Amino acid sequence: MRSGIGVAPLVPTGLVVESVVHGEDAIVVAAQGAAAMSACPLCGTLSERVHSRYVRQVADLPWAGRSVRLRLVVRRFLCDLAGCRCRIFAERFGKAVRSDRARRTDRLEGLVHHLGLALGGRPGAGFAQRLMLPVSNDTLLRVVRRLARPRAAPLSVIGIDDWAVRRNHRYGTIVCDLERRRIVALLPDREMATAEAWLRRHPGIGVVSRDLSIGTESGPRIGAQ
């Protein structure tokens, strides 16, 4: 079934739409990179010599109650710089698709991340299905953990609250850098001793904002000593 609304303005920037197939439950958008050249990931040399092409399937934000799949035609380029170890490389799409192995666009990854933070694993996966997002509870938790890697900058002001691994069944503790508004740690439980041990490993923290109702209530006071 065809739709009268154009899909091209809704796809990530940097892509050119070749065709759109509207199904009952999904929309498949065939697209390719808009740039005529691509930079070598090792030396940065621009190349316009295409070696070959292959197809990637990438999930994007749902549209009109249907899931959206991008069928990306990826070009492989030849590096023209003599001596470069990367003779053949695949083009990058920038913020449209974060890496050459990503299964989701950058904007869909951000939505998956926030669903995992807000609802946890199983409830988040159930709500994602209602939003036509093809993610499982394990995927939600993996995304949250991957984006919660420690930052290199020293911590000074943090916030501590509980986080649902499985709502109403299993909870952990989330630690956020309030100055940079980023997650810095996901602790496996809400025990006081776990929070104390983590805080002792970060003696530079001067301010702790916490929820008085969670199990780590006494942790910041003892750990900061």
State the pTM of this model.
0.58
pLDDT digit string, tens, across residues 154-192: 888 998 888 877 777 788 888 888 888 888 888 888 888
DSSP β-bridge partners for residue 207: 157
- Phi and psi (nearest 5°) for 136? -105, 170
pLDDT band for position 149 (cuts 50, 70, 90):
low
pLDDT digit string, tens, across residues 36-82: 899 998 888 999 999 999 999 988 888 888 888 899 999 999 998 88
In this structure, the strands spanning 66-78 and 207-210 are unpaired
Give how far Cα 73 sits from Cα of 30, 90, 156, 197, Å.
8, 11, 46, 49
Mean pLDDT (the chain, rounded): 82
pLDDT of residue 216: 45
In this structure, the strands spanning 182-187 and 170-177 are antiparallel
Give ∠ CA 81-84-87 in degrees, rounded to 5: 85
pLDDT of residue 119: 86
Q: Which two tokens stand for residue 44?
A: 């940065």
